Amino acid sequence: MTPVQSTAEVFEAIQRAKAGAAAFTTNLFPIEARLRTWIEHKELFCTRDENEKVVFFFRKDRDFFHLYFFSPSPAALSSALQSSPELNRECFSADIVAKEGATAELVDPFEQSGFRKYSHLARLSRVRNAAESTALPSTTQVEFAQESDNPRIQELLEASFDRFADQLPFDYEIRSAIEHRQIFVIRQDSAVAAFLHFETQGVSSTLRFWVVGKPFRASGFGSMLVRHYFASQTAVRRFILWVNAANENALQKYAHYGYAPDGLVDHILVNSLIP
């Protein structure tokens, strides 16, 4: 496992795996700016199986790694997984994203290599109704997060989500989101009681995290946040999010706000070193 020094290494790996491939497959669809950030923070590593043209990338996340791959075929991926010594030395989590019912081709090689299914996420989406109001409430407790809110936001994230399944942001990512006004908060006694973290690009917006602290879950803060979010994103036509498919309470809550499954799922697999 060697540190990645430039984004060119990633894009060159894609081309090597694709060359002459009849069934190229991957679980990483790289955005150059995000790759640069990972490299700058010394989070990204790689290893290669030259015989199979398979390249593995590993992103360090707290006490484990996210595993990404570029492979000429599922068969080559299976062979490389079974012959990779790194997979027995560290904790790994891998995301397999595909249409519901089309994940087995990539899930099977991981399970044959000692990985197991850990979590199952479903993507939900909602389309803005043409008649839906984009007028912000005249009086609201919702405001943008400030830099001083970072520790409390991290505390709420760690208490509410699973680090192996939910791609929790690092400190620097929260700071960047605050700087770019991508986190709404509601305060109680000057401290953050609830927040909503989102990312908007063009006419699409992803709800990343929506958290209400336990003492405030009957306060209506969650509803205030999400309604403010919808109204504030005036150019957005499609809202999306990922949710644990086994969490019926969350599914019902999102359905109440107009979200519905769009057919895309994410199977999260972990190796035997993750309990």
Residue range 4-53, pLDDT digits in tens: 999 999 999 999 899 989 899 999 999 999 999 999 999 999 998 766 68
Q: What does the pLDDT look like over 83-92, one tens digit per residue?
A: 888 888 999 9
Task: Give the predicted TM-score (pTM) of the model.
Answer: 0.93
Rounded to an integer, what distance in angstroms lies between the CA atom of residue 56 and that of residue 99?
23
Q: How far is CA 71 from CA 102, 150, 214, in A?
A: 17, 38, 44
State the pLDDT at residue 218: 86
Tens of pLDDT along 161-202?
999 999 999 999 999 999 999 999 999 988 999 999 999 999
Which of 49-53, 139-143, 210-214, 239-243 shows the lowest mean pLDDT across its residues?
49-53
pLDDT of residue 139: 66
Dist CA 37 CA 112 (whole Å)? 33
Cβ contact 149:178 at 8 Å: yes
Predicted pLDDT at 51? 67
Task: Please give the mean pLDDT across all residues of the chain.
Answer: 94
**What domains are there in the chain, each with its CATH number?**
2-90 (no CATH), 129-236 (3.40.630.30)
Number of H helices, E strands in the chain: 8, 13
Torsion angle (degrees, nearest 10) of CA 225, 227, 233, 237 = 130
